[in-house]
A and B are shown apart, each in its own frame.
Chain A
Amino acid sequence: MATVGVDALVELQGVALGYEGVVALRDVDVSIAPGELIGIVGPSGCGKTTLLRSLLGEPELYAGTAQVADNTRVGYVPQVETVDWNFPITVEQVAMLGSWRTRRWLPWTSRAERSRARVVLSQLGIADLADRPIRALSGGQQQRTFLARALIRSPDLLLLDEPTSGVDIKTRHEILHQLAGLNTAGVTVVLTTHDLNGVASHLPRLIALGEQTVLADGPPSEVLQPDILERAYGQPMLVVQSGHETYVLPIPEEAPGAHGDVLPPPEVVNVIGRPDSDSDSDSTSDHA
Chain B
Amino acid sequence: MLEPFEFGFMQRAMIAATLVGGVTAAVGVFVILRRLAYIGHGLAHSIFGGAVVSFTIGFNFFLGASLWGAFSVFLINQAARRRQIGGDAAIGIITTAAFAIGIAVISRARSFTRDFEAALFGEILGITNQDLYVTAGMVLLIAIVMFLLWKPLVFITFDQDVATSYGISVRWVEAIFSLALAATVVAALQVLGVTLIAAALVIPPVVARLLTDSFPRLFVIAVVIGALTGFLGVYVSWFVDVSSGATVVLVQSAVFALTLGWGVLESRRGFSAARRAERLAGLERSLND
Residues of chain A touching chain B, judged by Cβ–Cβ distance below 8 Å, are 20, 53, 56, 58, 74, 76, 78, 82-84, 86-90, 93-94, 97-98, 100-101, 104-107, 133
Known contacts A87-B33, A89-B158, A133-B213; A74 and B151 CB within 8 A of each other: no
The listed residue (A74, A84, A90) touching B159 by CB distance below 8 A is: A84
Query: What is the size category of the interface that chain B forms with chain A?
Result: 20 to 34
A107 to B151, Cβ gap below 8 A? yes
B155 to A100, Cβ gap below 8 A? yes
Could you say which residues of chain B place their CB within 8 Å of the CB of A107?
147, 150-151
A contacts with B: majority SS? loop
Could you say which residues of chain B place their CB within 8 Å of the CB of A133?
213
B161 to A78, Cβ gap below 8 A? yes
Could you say which residues of chain B place their CB within 8 Å of the CB of A20?
83
The listed residue (B159, B164, B166, B218) touching A88 by CB distance below 8 A is: B218
CB nearest neighbor in A for B152: A100
Known contacts A84-B33, A88-B209; A53 and B148 CB within 8 A of each other: no
CA distance A78 to B158 in the complex (A): 13
B contacts with A: majority SS? helix
B150 to A82, Cβ gap below 8 A? no
Chain B 157-182 near chain A by CB (<8 Å), digits 1 or 0: 11101101111100000000000000
A80 to chain B, nearest CB (A): 10
Could you say which residues of chain B place their CB within 8 Å of the CB of A104?
151-152
Could you say which residues of chain B place their CB within 8 Å of the CB of A78?
159, 161-162, 165
Q: Would you list 12 pairs from A and B whose C-beta atoms are within 8 A, ordered by A residue?
A: A58-B165, A78-B165, A82-B161, A83-B161, A84-B33, A84-B157, A87-B158, A88-B218, A89-B215, A97-B159, A98-B166, A106-B151
CA distance A134 to B215 in the complex (A): 12
Could you say which residues of chain A place their CB within 8 Å of the CB of B164?
56, 58
A100 to B165, Cβ gap below 8 A? no
B166 to A97, Cβ gap below 8 A? yes
Could you say which residues of chain B place their CB within 8 Å of the CB of A82?
159, 161-162
Residues of chain B touching chain A, judged by Cβ–Cβ distance below 8 Å, are 33, 83, 147-148, 150-152, 154-155, 157-159, 161-162, 164-168, 209, 212-215, 218
The listed residue (A84, A89, A105) touching B148 by CB distance below 8 A is: A105
B151 to A93, Cβ gap below 8 A? no
A151 to chain B, nearest CB (A): 13
A97 to B154, Cβ gap below 8 A? yes
B214 to chain A, nearest CB (A): 6
CA distance A89 to B209 in the complex (A): 12
A58 to chain B, nearest CB (A): 6
CB nearest neighbor in A for B217: A88
The listed residue (A56, A87, A90, A100) touching B151 by CB distance below 8 A is: A100
A135 to chain B, nearest CB (A): 9
A100 to B212, Cβ gap below 8 A? no
A86 to B151, Cβ gap below 8 A? no
Known contacts A97-B158, A133-B213; A74 and B165 CB within 8 A of each other: yes
B76 to chain A, nearest CB (A): 20
Could you say which residues of chain B place their CB within 8 Å of the CB of A58?
164-165
Interface centre among A58, A76, A84, A94 (most CB of B within 10 A): A84
Could you say which residues of chain A place their CB within 8 Å of the CB of B162?
76, 78, 82-83
A100 to B166, Cβ gap below 8 A? yes
Could you say which residues of chain B place their CB within 8 Å of the CB of A84?
33, 157-159
